[in-house]
Amino acid sequence: MKRTSLLISSIVILVSISGCLDVSSTDIQVEDRLTGEPIDGSDQGSSHLEEFNSEPIFSLDLGVDQHLIRLIVILNWVDEPPAQSGVPYVNDGETFTVRISDGERINYMASTTNVAGSPGKMYVHLPGDIVDNQTVSDPKRFSVEITLTNAGDQYPYYFPVESLRIDDTGNDYTWSVEYTYVDKS
Ligand SMILES: [Ca+2]
Ligand SMILES: [Ca+2]
């Protein structure tokens, strides 16, 4: 019960900030939404993508009385060490894209490119004012898809000409997903 109360307080703050509802109806609507048991879950894994390719990594099926209120995706990756082919090279960053979709109204995408020579990290939080909307809480499947949008190639540090380019074909990555939904049944 304590956890539920905390969750309700958080949502009240979110709703207040969003300004989507008038004050007189906020308390009733929030209480109605969150009557039920909050259920947390998570999953994680690792994979490899070739440049321009995509793959699904996670899906979550929710029933008619289950309302998603939080979904977070975290990606981590490290590009290959630069070549030392006579001269020092720089390996340009990888651009990963995370897409969270419910197959209908939600199609949320975000991309990040790592700085050359530094690890890449991406944190994607499906915004609460979208997932908390009752109109999108019918039975549905939320899915997460990863794309290696661009694998930056390698160029000589002091002489970055196209003729000396080394193709970067892909990259490893690790992922984790955390979510919370409320079951009102
Ligand atoms: Ca690269
Ligand atoms: Ca790479």
Of 183, 10, 166, nearest to 79 by C-alpha is 166
Model pTM above 0.85: no
Give the pLDDT confidence of 57-115 residue by residue, as tens digits. 999 998 887 888 889 999 999 999 999 888 999 999 999 999 999 888 788 999 999 99
- CA of 152, nearest ligand number: 1
d(CA 148, CA 167) in angstroms, rounded, equals 15
CB under 5 Å of ion ligand 2: residues = 79-80, 151, 168, 171
| 65/55: higher pLDDT | 55
C-alpha of residue 71 to centroid of ligand 1, in Å: 29
Of 71, 100, 68, 102, nearest to 181 by C-alpha is 68
Give the pLDDT confidence of 131-151 residue by residue, as tens digits. 656 555 567 899 999 999 999
- CA of 148, nearest ligand number: 2
d(CA 120, CA 130) in angstroms, rounded, equals 27
**11 confidence band (pLDDT: 50, 70, 90):** very low
